[in-house]
Amino acid sequence: MPNRMKPTLLIVDDDEAIRTQMKWALSEDYDVCFAQDRREALDAFEAHSPAVTLLDLGLPPRPNDSDEGLAVLSDLLAIDNTAKVIIISGQSEKQNAIEAVGAGAYDFLCKPVDMEELRLLLRRCINVVELEKEYHKLQQSQRSEVFEDMLGTSPQMQAVFELIRKVAGTNAPVLLLGESGTGKEMAAAAIHRRSTRKDGPFVAINCNAIPETLLESELFGHEKGAFTGAHVQRKGLLETASGGTLFLDEIGELPPAIQVKLLRFLQEQRLQRVGGRQEIQVDTRLVAATNADLKELIDNGKFREDLYFRLAVVSIRLLPLRERGEDIVFLAREFLQRYASQNRPAKMVFAPDSLRAMSRYSWPGNVRELQNRVKRGVIMASGSRVSAKDLELDHGKEAAASLATTLKQAREHVEREMVEQALKKNSGKITSAAADLGISRPTLYELMEKLGIAKERANTNVNKHQNNPPYANIENSI
């Protein structure tokens, strides 16, 4: 059994004599493992998580040039961008070794290797590894990766978590802003669980999912006989959530008449049921959310300015995934671990090409889309590695988006694909397509106009994209 107190050293070299020499020279101080080619190197790296990797640039199937070794370096750094890789090169490869250091390698040595020089370099490298581990532990002790079921290590998300902590202990209304799929409902639930109302109910409603004729009754309740079909008195959601929190998603979709009644409730904490005359005192906190531009709706006369200021006592913006940096790979690995444990007996990892593809992709569907793609990747992977192809990030619209000359063009390309697909799926019905996309009808009309998609020709425009899966019914997570 190897001594696990020793640092692990991975040696990637196709020369058996060199591997034997390295083993005898270094095994006293290191747990040494070996690889002869690119595939073995990746397998060994993921299996043993070495502290340091010694990498020969000349590897099969092209041992006479540096391309394969440089590809291994790129793959290792894609798996772990903090990996310590020392390049072993011949004099003729010295320039390539220098370039490898520029690409992320820790250092390089020329053949024939001086063992004392190698031992000194390894000790220095291990010291750096230990210092980085201590620094990482210190960072992790000061911030949490999991906050009330919300995941995130980036500074941006830590700032969001801190805002939630501050606002949760008050009774002030909160307005959550962000694109579809960024986790607004999870943030609302976190505010509730952190508040003094945590033992009360948390009630959520999507204002866009209920017909306008029923929405008033759903929110404020009704008295018996208030309208046809009102056979009994019924409490609305504002009453049901008394002592707790009511989460109003897609607040921008509220009709003007209901906006007036909601404003009065926020001012007085009192309401009247539909068909009722008695005012009822209700102790309910409101948290609202929208992916629409409320200020634009105010300018267009579709949303009351006084209601906006009542709701937006505190505003919290949930960032799109593309702005969360390191969180993309962090979240992907969390989801992979979750779904792999449910579906596969063996441990699964992301192949380097999938990690690169995820980092480059713009994620128009945000965390919901990431979660759905990882779930698909677990199902489609033929072995223990999830590739970019398994995630559907290796061709088609993703490739077209990545080739766009600007980020704006890339986003417009993906938006057009998704809008046309939703219209195709719903036979051109705007309301249904907007619901699938998680946006309002006016927003979809504006998006169609911006992208040059005419309603009357939407069906013909989307035929060429019928093989791309829609992003509907994806679990909400962050």
Residues 335 and 453 in one domain: yes
Shared domain for 162 and 126, answered yes or no, is no
Q: Are residues 192 and 310 in the same domain?
A: yes
Q: Are residues 237 and 278 in the same domain?
A: yes
Q: Which residues pair with 195 in a beta bridge?
A: none
Q: How confident is the model at residue 469, as a pLDDT?
A: 38
Say whether 36 sits in a helix, a strand or coil: coil
Distance (Å, rounded) from C-alpha 468 to C-alpha 134? 45
CATH number at residue 401: 1.10.8.60
Of 74, 105, 140, the residue at which a domain comes to its end is: 140
Instruction: Show which of 109, 140, 171 is a domain's final residue.
Output: 140
The whole-number pLDDT of residue 446 equals 75
Residue 246 maps to a domain: yes
**Contacts of residue 406, Cβ cutoff 8 Å, sequence gap at least 6:** none
Higher pLDDT, 364 or 229: 364
Number of structural domains the chain divides into:
3
CATH number at residue 242: 3.40.50.300
Is 20 among the domain residues? yes
Could you tell me if 374 and 309 lie in one domain?
no
What was the pLDDT predicted at 432? 80
The whole-number pLDDT of residue 470 equals 34
User: Which pLDDT value is given to residue 438?
Assistant: 76
CATH number of the structural domain spanning residue 123 = 3.40.50.2300
Q: Residue 453 has what pLDDT?
A: 81
Whether 475 is in a domain gets the answer no
Asked whether residue 474 is domain-assigned, the answer is no
Listed residues 120, 140, 160: the one ending a domain: 140
Question: Which pTM was predicted?
Answer: 0.63
For residue 456, pLDDT over 80 is answered with no
Q: How far apart are CA 229 and CA 240, in angstroms?
A: 21
pLDDT in tens, 281-338: 999 999 999 999 999 999 999 999 999 999 999 999 999 999 998 899 989 999 998 8
- Alpha carbons 397 and 75: distance in angstroms, whole number: 24
Distance CA 290, CA 118 (A): 58
In this structure, the answer to whether residues 119 and 154 fall within a common structural domain is no
Give the pLDDT score at 320: 94
Q: Are residues 36 and 99 in the same domain?
A: yes
Beta strands per DSSP E along 90-199? 107-110, 146-147, 150-151, 174-177
Do 370 and 438 fall within a single domain?
yes
Instruction: Specify the pLDDT at position 409.
Output: 63
- The whole domain housing 384 covers 327-465
pLDDT at 476 over 50: no
Q: Tell me the residue length of the chain.
A: 478
Residues above pLDDT 70, as percent of the chain: 87
426 shares a domain with 373: yes
Q: Which residue has the higher pLDDT, 398 or 94?
A: 94
Under 8 Å between Cβ of 28 and 103? no
For residues 435 and 402, membership in a common domain is answered with yes
Which of 412-450 are b and which e, b meaning 16 or more Cβ less than 10 Å from the residue's Cβ? bbbbbbbbbbbbbbbebebeebbbbbbbbebbbeebbee
The answer to whether residue 477 sits within a structural domain is no
Residue 123 in any domain: the answer is yes
The verdict on 169 and 93 lying in the same domain is no
Cβ atoms of 288 and 265 within 8 Å: the answer is no
Residue 261 lies in a domain: yes
Looking at the domain assignment, is residue 158 inside a domain? yes
Q: Are residues 313 and 165 in the same domain?
A: yes
